[in-house]
Structure 1
Amino acid sequence: MSSYEPNNNKWLASGDRSDPTLQMMDNDLVPSLTYDGYRDDVKKLEAAFFDGGADCIRFVEILFKVQQKQKIHEGDRTHPQLLKLDRLRRILNYDGWEEDFRQAEEAHLESGYLVDMKFVKELNPFTNAYRRLQNRQAIYDGDRSDSWLMRLDSLHLTYPGWEKDVQSAMRQYSDGCAPLFDSIEERQRVYEGDRSSPRLVALDNLKTLLSYPGHESDVAAIEE
């Protein structure tokens, strides 16, 4: 348990490094570091500690990053996210995968500590970076077995401009995001005269009450 009080500048100026966290850094962490650039990272780690203490999220994030950089430098890639990433690497061969892979590794360094905190997976940037690799490889392979793509392929689209919307959805998929297929499906239903979705029912009910100048364009913008 750190005895450090955040923003205690007098304590910092005194050069007292008796705090358990600083002792850990001085005696255990720093002597073990050999990767390029570790000195700059240690400075950032100390700054985070002096600013908020050992329990602040910034300190936890940088400490994880330093420890992981050293492990990777030593060839240790046993963290669950790296194991998952390395398994995927075996099948990657689309143009540009190396840069996407590097970005996924960086996302691991920046957010891998969230795994240890049991953070929501969907909010972990690594999840998006990993999906980007998966999805781009699938597109390259012509593999459309993903549930999102199967859903897209099952749609029978005829409304004006559907091609542009599908292209946009595929860009979202390629970027590792969940495509907004709901809006595509709803536009097709509206084109066919089906306005039974709860949102459109509510909008149609509201339209009967509107009379101010320009309300038609506002309604059209909402529908769009």
Structure 2
Amino acid sequence: MLRKQRKNELKELIFSTSLQLFKEKGYERVTVDEITQACGIAKGTFYNYFPRKDTILLHLGSYQMEVVHQAISHTSNLPGNKERLLTIFRELFGYLEENRDLVKVVYFELFHSPMLMEQEGKQVKDFQAALIPIMKEGIAKKELKGHMNPESLSSLVISIYFQTVMNWLSFPDQVQNPVSMFLDQFEMVWEGIGVNKKGE
């Protein structure tokens, strides 16, 4: 147990040190040698945890999923399905804004790495799977239209999220507040998938 804990701590040290260097110098300018020197570890140790430098970016993506799962957990007592979804996405955007430069690197590195693209696809599926129970609950509570597919609803909301993120990263001058952009689009979609007060 202690050995596993030490391994996890070392992995987190490598990860956090790498992120700090990426922030200071830029992802492209940081080498594995610099990371290992800053951590005080051998190069082989680094590769035991991260086969390549870009796999550190995948670890950043896994942190996003932790934010999602934590948000899902602590919003379980909120009364409305819509309020719960919005809270989850607000927290996720808060995390992205704190790590904007690194998130930008992740997204644009995806287009150059089939491995990163594949792993990102798995994380998107995990994200979708995490939201499906919320959609099912919304249907059961008659907050969402009963004939709609929970998987499709989850995919739809996530698509809005990723579109907003890509616009925010690609056109920062035009999209200075990604949360507002997401909320505007979410409200338009909710008009179509939500049940009105008369239950129609």
TM-score, structure 2 normalization: 0.30
Identify which of structures 1 and 2 has the higher relative contact order when contacts are C-alpha pairs closer than 8 Å and 6+ apart: 2
Larger Rg: 1
